[in-house]
Amino acid sequence: MTTAGFILRNALRNKRRATLSVLSVAASLFLLVTLQSVLHEMTVPPSDVGAALRVIVRSKISLANPLPARQRAIIERIPGVEAVSPFSWFGGKYKDDEQMRFAQFGVDPKVLPILSPESRLTPQEYEAWAANRTACIVGRLTADLRKIKVGDRIPFTSTIYPCTLELTVAGIYSGTVDDANVFFHHKYLDEACGDDGMVGTWWVKVRSIDQMQPVVAAINKAFENTSAEVRAETERAFQLSFISMMGDTRKFIGWICAAVGLALLFVTASTMSMTIRERMRELAILKAVGYRLRELLLFILAESLSLAAAGALVGVGGAWLLYTHTKMAGFALALVCAGVFVWVVQMVRHRQYLGAVVTLLANGLLGLISLAVVTHGSLFKLSQGYIHYLHITPKIIGIATAVASVLGIAACLAPGWAVARLSVVRGLKTLD
C-alpha cells in the first residue's frame, strides 16, 4: 500500500457520498464555466478574419436613426475604400417565433463577396441570388435548424419596417463566425417599404489595414455638420460597443458566479467536516502509531483536493465536451447511463430497492438528456438557435481550476483545525 492508495481508499470509503460530492462540485463548476463562457461570448464576440478590414457607418445620433442612401456615393469616393453596401437590419419574425431568433440584413448582393470573402456560397447559388430581387441566402446553422432548403419561400414580418418580405431561398452560405443570418436585396426592402431613400447603416470594405484609420476619419469628416452626421468605426469596435450596454448584465453574471462558488464551498466544507468527524477515532489511532499532525493534515487536504479535482474534471471536462463536441458528449453521457444501470442492477441484487428506484429515475432523466444531445448534435440546435458557440478558453479553465483548488483547501480548514486540536486520548474515546 502507498500513502496515495491510503488516501484514495479513504476518499472512496463511502462511495455514495463521494459520488454525490463529486457531482455537486461538477454541476457547480459546469454552471460556472458556462456562465463565464457566455460572458466571454458577450464581451469578446468572435470575429471573422475579414472583419479587420471592415467598417460600420451609423448615425451619430443613434443606431436607430437611418442614413440617407445618397451617402453611398460619397463614401465610395474616399481613398482606400474598396466597396460599400447598405446594411439594414430588418428585424423580422420567422413563422410562429415569438422572438426573432436569427437576424436578416438588407445588403447589395453585388458587393457581398468583396465585403465578406469568408462567406462560402457556390457560384450557382450566388448568381441565383444576385439575379432574383426577392431571393435571399440563409446561413448554414439556421438552415439546418429550421430545415430550410434552396427553393423554400419564407415570409418575414418586420418589427421595425411597415412591411412583410416574401423571400425565396437561393443559397445556403457558411464559413463565417455567424452562419445564422439571412441576407437579401436591399432594393426589395426599398420597394416593399415605399423607398424612403434611407438605409440602416453602411458596411464598408477598406483596401488595407494601413488605410483603416484614415478611412474612418475621412468618413466621419465627410458628413460633419450635415443633417446626417455619422459615426464610422471598425466592425470590431461596433461589436464591442454593444458590450457597454450590458454593464449590469456582466455584474449580474459575476454575482451569480460568486453565489455558485459560495454554495459550493458550503457543500464541500460540510461534506469534509462530516467525513472527518466520523473518522476522529481512526485519526487518533494514526496519531498514536506515530503520524504527525502535518501528515494527517496532508491526508485530509489530499482527500479534499481529490474530490474537488474529480468534480472539476467532470464539470469542466463535461462542459468543454458538450460545447465543442456536442454529439460525442451525448454518447459519453449514454455510456454513463449504461454504467449507472449496471449499478442499479447491483443495488437490486443487494436488495437496496429504494436506492435502486431513485437511481433508476435519475438515470432515466440522464438518458433523456443524452438522447436530446445526440439527436440535436450541436449547441446551436440544442439551444434552438439562441446560442451559436460557447468557447471554453484556457482562462476560463484556469478560473474553474483555481475555484476547485480554493474549494479543496477551504473545505478542509475546519476539519483540519479539529484534527490539530485532537488529543489521542480524547480521540480514542470518540464513539463510532
Partner 1 sequence: MSAQSIVTIRELSKVYRQGEINVVALNNISLDIAEGEFLALMGPSGSGKSTLLHIIAGVDRPTKGTCQVQGVEVTKLNESQLADWRNKNVGFVFQTFNLIPVLTAFENVELPLLLTRLNSKQRRQQVNTALELVGLADRGHHLPKQLSGGQEQRTAIARAIVTDPKLVIADEPTGNLDSGSAQEILNILQMLSQKLGKTVIMVTHDPKAAAFGSRSIHLEKGELTG
Asked if residue 151 binds partner 1 (CB under 8 A), the reply is: no
User: Residue count at the site for partner 1 (CB under 8 A)?
Assistant: 24
Q: Which of 146, 185, 205, 287 binds partner 1 (CB under 8 A)?
A: 287
Residue 282 interacts with partner 1 (CB under 8 A): yes or no: yes
Site for partner 1, residues 7 to 26, rule: CB under 8 A: 9-10, 12-13
**CB of 417 vs partner 1, minimal distance in Å:** 16
Question: Dihedral of the CA atoms 142, 148, 149, 151 (nearest 10)?
Answer: -120
| Min dist. Cβ of residue 288 to partner 1 (A) | 5
Stretch 294-353 residues interacting with partner 1 (CB under 8 A): 295
Residue 391 backbone phi and psi in degrees, to 5: -95, 125
- Residue 82 or residue 282: which is nearer to partner 1 going by CB? 282
Give the residues across from 83 on adjacent strands.
205
Q: How far apart are CA 114 and CA 84, in angstroms?
A: 9
In angstroms, what is the minimal distance from the CB of 347 to partner 1?
20
Bridge-partner residues for 230, per DSSP? 59
- The residue (of 5 and 162) whose beta carbon lies closer to partner 1 is 5
Site for partner 1 in 384-423 (CB under 8 A): 423
Task: Figure out which of the listed residues 263, 274, 288, 348 binds partner 1, where binding follows CB under 8 A.
Answer: 288
Residues 6+ apart with CB under 8 A from 240: 45
Helix (H, G, I), strand (E, B) or coil at 421: coil
DSSP 177-230: S-TT-EEEEHHHHHHHTT--SEESEEEEEES-GGGHHHHHHHHHHHTTTSTT-E
Residue 357 in contact with partner 1, rule: CB under 8 A: no
CA dihedral 237, 239, 245, 250 (to 10 degrees): -100
Q: Which of 79, 123, 290, 394 binds partner 1 (CB under 8 A)?
A: 290
Nearer to partner 1, 2 or 99 (CB): 2
Q: How many residues does the chain have?
A: 432
- Supply the minimum distance, in Å, between the C-beta of residue 239 and partner 1: 56
Nearest CB to partner 1, comparing residues 7 and 193: 7
Other Cβ atoms within 10 Å of 156 Cβ, number: 22
CB of 416 to partner 1, least distance (A): 15
Q: Which of 256, 267, 340 is nearest to 308 (CA)?
A: 267
Q: Which residues bind partner 1 (CB under 8 A)?
A: 1-3, 6, 9-10, 12-13, 281-282, 285-293, 295, 423-425, 428
